[in-house]
Amino acid sequence: MSIPRPEYPRPQFERPDWENLNGTWEFEIDQADTGVERGLRERPLSSTITVPFAPESTASGVGIRDQLTAVWYRRHWKVPAEWQGRRIMLHFGAVDHDTTVWVNGVEVGRHRGGFTSFSVDTTAAVTAGSDAIVVVRARDTARSPQARGKQGRDFAPTGTFYPRTTGIWQTVWAEPVPHRRIGSLHIIPSLARGSFSIRVVIRGARAADTVQVVVTDASGVVVGQDQQALGQDFTPELVVGIASAHLHLWEPGRGYLYGLTVRLVSEDGQVLDQVASYAGMRSIAVDGTRVLINGKPVFQRLVLDQGYWPDTLMTAPSDAALVADIATGLAAGFNGARAHQKVFEERYLYHADRMGYLVWAEFGDWGVNEFGPDGWYQTPTISFVTQWLEAVGRDRNHPAIVGWCPLNEFQERITDRITDMDDVARAMFLGAKLADPTRPVLDASGFSHRLVESDVYDSHSYEQDPECFLAEQAGLAEGTPYVNTDGGHAISVPYAGQPYFVSEFGGIHWSSDADTWGYGDEVSSLEELYVRFEGLVNVLLEDPNMFGYCYTQLSDVESEHNGIVRYDRSSKLDLERLRQVQTRPAAIERRDC
């Protein structure tokens, strides 16, 4: 039987030795969360599941859509004998939500948060060449105020809330690593200097060790063995200059990538560890209300990508499916996407990198975007901030990412007091700025903007009449753009002149199925859809103060039928016709002509 999702899950930090642990695992539902007391750690489980697909999905072989309080996984694994002498790491792409991992009866790690990757060191519990029993428990209480993204709390999907995802939903894999090793990289391009700054975190450092970096392009080695001794800095930073003859830009539609090899070398010249990575040379800057990429105004024609599939839910069914979604967006004339309400897997970002596809990276915060017991919105837990920093730290090296957005449509009225939600919003904003000062951060997409210093400002509008849409958006020219409110009550600080875009619009409903919905009245024909699409898009393309937009959405999802392709990604609209509407120069791109 072939292994599902067999590709290497972390293309920007790759070692040659690894083993994919996807496939058949033992599985058992623990609805009362009493599995420890009932001995589920020690005994075989009652059924099986196909990892990495969540038990709510049909691809998992389970397909139970009811609320699952806790689930257990168990698998026998033969640790390769050739991994002797190295630390044995177990990596999880994502497990929803509260995870504990045991190996051979020893607890080796815990993690809370369903959207971010984590690793556990199993060295104390396993021996190379011997069998290991891996047991995983995932708790996912339906009513707790945790980050869920678009996962619904009710039994059936309703409106903008879709089926839940419980337990393992991204690749599980094992890797041997040296005791003295490269822990992580932070790669910062500088187009102005024609260089890459590469900060290297080392585990088990010795002062006499050195870090070496080799850079390659399509012609071969560009920079060979630039190096720095560890004794000089706690976190070594190598600034690697690229000669002008080898300076290639990463641009929208042209994702040029340099290869990087980073080595940790001992005092006597022994290579202790080596990872393969890559980087793109591009810059992001702001010029008044314009966002510049490589010094040029680029109107960001984004599409809302929710990353759901009928049989696999939040897990992409294959690597090819990720490529196909990006290709669909490009074919329709979009140059990027809002990676909406989940932390997209690293393989998606890798393909966006190499295909030159802009990405606004988000967090799946919508778990609190519902009324709580007191009749108002619930307050996020500290795990929101923890997961968000994990996501930014993991993904900040991807050149495709051109902005961060931690929150979506949170909604609190402006009052005379600072709320817990204000504190969370500020913590997530400041955390992103500290972890990555090279990109703009939007405090919240649509609805409540609480930070005057937010790098950009936006709104959500599903007005379907182009003339009314034009009138609604006309205030931007006078510095008073359309701002979302709560029944007329202020929920945002005033606009302060930042770059502005409409980060959700459109959502035109077109479907041959009953009991589906989109925004506004459903069009009566495809021709009416194309006319409405062109009218709405033209309002934003022709606004000289608008830096971009995000159209809702890439694909239909469950009963929400406003995608440019169907839920199963079969053809729905004429993508070439959409492309012709979108690809003419926008006003903000023509301003200096």
Q: Which residues contact 434 (CB under 8 A, 6 or more apart)?
A: none
Q: What are phi and psi of 273, to 5 degrees?
A: -155, 155
Cis-peptide into 76, omega within 30 deg: no
Query: What distance lies between CA 383 and its chain's CA centroid?
Result: 17
Q: How far apart are CA 181 and CA 141, in angstroms?
A: 37
Pick from 68-77, 150-159, 326-335, 431-440: least confident? 150-159
pLDDT confidence bin for 375, thresholds 50/70/90: very low
Percent helix, percent strand, percent coil in the chain, to nearest 5: 20, 35, 50
pLDDT, residue 376, reads: 46
**450-475 mean pLDDT:** 96
What would the pLDDT profile of 253-268 be if each residue is shown by its tens digit?
A: 999 999 999 999 999 9
Pick from 182-186, 221-225, 334-338, 494-498: least confident? 221-225
Residue 331, Ramachandran bin (φ over 0: left; ψ between -120 and 50: alpha; else beta): alpha
For the residues of 136-164, what is the DSSP string, one character each? EEEE--TTS----TTB-SSSS-BTTBB--
**477-498 mean pLDDT:** 93
Mean pLDDT is highest, among 228-242, 366-380, 409-423, 576-590, for 576-590
pLDDT mean across residues, the chain: 94
Residue 484, Ramachandran bin (φ over 0: left; ψ between -120 and 50: alpha; else beta): beta
Q: What is the dihedral of CA 11, 15, 19, 21, to 10 degrees?
A: -40
Q: What amino acid is encoded at 66 in this protein?
A: D
Q: Residue 290 pLDDT > 70, yes or no?
A: yes
Q: How far apart are CA 563 and CA 331, in angstroms?
A: 14
Domain 192-279 matching CATH 3.20.20.70: the answer reads: no
297, β-bridge pairs: 292
Spans of all domains in the chain? 19-177, 192-279, 284-590
Q: Residue 163 pLDDT > 80, yes or no?
A: yes
pLDDT confidence bin for 369, thresholds 50/70/90: low
Domain at 19-177, CATH class: mainly beta
Q: DSSP class of residue 266?
A: -
What would the pLDDT profile of 179-234 be if each residue is shown by its tens digit?
A: 999 999 999 999 999 999 999 999 998 999 999 999 999 999 998 777 777 777 88
Picking from 303, 302, 260, the residue whose alpha carbon sits closest to that of residue 281 is 260
Beta strands 237-241 and 195-203 are antiparallel
Q: How far apart are CA 413 and CA 349, in angstroms?
A: 35
Picking from 179, 170, 219, 214, the residue whose alpha carbon sits closest to that of residue 196 is 214
Residue 7, Ramachandran bin (φ over 0: left; ψ between -120 and 50: alpha; else beta): beta
Q: DSSP class of residue 488?
A: T
Domain at 284-590, CATH class: alpha beta
CB atoms within 10 A of CB 524: 9
Q: What is the dihedral of CA 321, 326, 330, 333, to 10 degrees?
A: 110
Picking from 377, 443, 438, 431, the residue whose alpha carbon sits closest to that of residue 402 is 438
pLDDT, residue 377, reads: 54
pLDDT, residue 214, reads: 95
What would the pLDDT profile of 531-557 be if each residue is shown by its tens digit?
A: 999 999 999 999 999 999 999 999 999
Residue 514: strand, helix, or coil = coil
Picking from 183, 180, 172, 78, the residue whose alpha carbon sits closest to that of residue 133 is 78
Angle at 190 between CA 386 and CA 198, to 5 degrees: 55
SS (HEC) of 84-115:
CCCEEEEEECCEECEEEEEECCEEEEEEECCC
